[in-house]
Amino acid sequence: MKKSSYSKAARQAVLSSASARQQLIEMGGENTIDIIREFDKDMSDEELARKTGIKASDVRVVLNRLHSCGLFTYTRVRDRDSGWYSYIWKMSEGKLRDFVSVNETEPIQEKEEFSEPEDYLKKNIVLPQAPIFEKRRR
């Protein structure tokens, strides 16, 4: 099986965007940025764990979360001697680039400033209304 290599520029484009980094961490967990930074070619989760110093089970969690979002794919390969399967992970560079461009174009919501506390209350607090009772007909 031929393994693909990934450009550092493509990974750096993702990592240089603060909003994309934050979104990736929310999607994949705290180790996501380290995993993407070190993902320079197709590799198994065990290889990536050795390269990053992150436990293999934690690497799998991140990769599976990113896979469910469409940013990574995998190929299952069976070892002829042991019969065990391993997974070779691939980065979807195009989808990762699209992910960054979407996160860069979303507007950042600015905080509203209120001159008087009453203005804030009028805008953000819903006061309970008195219940409306109907007369019962007998």
pLDDT at residue 85, as a whole number: 92
Which tokens in the block code for residue 60?
A: 């799998």
pLDDT digits (tens, 9 = 90+) for 9-20: 778 877 888 888
* pTM (2 d.p.): 0.69
Half-sphere exposure at residue 92, Cβ-oriented, CA atoms within 13 angstroms:
16
Bigger pLDDT: 88 vs 19:
88
Is the CB of residue 89 less than 8 Å from the CB of residue 42?
yes
Task: Give the type of residue at 26.
Answer: E
Estimate the crossing angle of helix 18-28 against helix 8-15, to 10 degrees: 90
**What is the average pLDDT value for the chain, to the nearest integer?**
81
Bigger pLDDT: 20 vs 109:
20
What is the average per-residue pLDDT within 46-53?
A: 96
What is the set of domains in the chain, with CATH numbers?
8-109 (1.10.10.10)
> How far apart are alpha carbons 131 and 128 in whole angstroms?
9
Strands (E), the chain: 43-44, 72-78, 85-91
Estimate the crossing angle of helix 8-15 against helix 93-105, to 10 degrees: 30
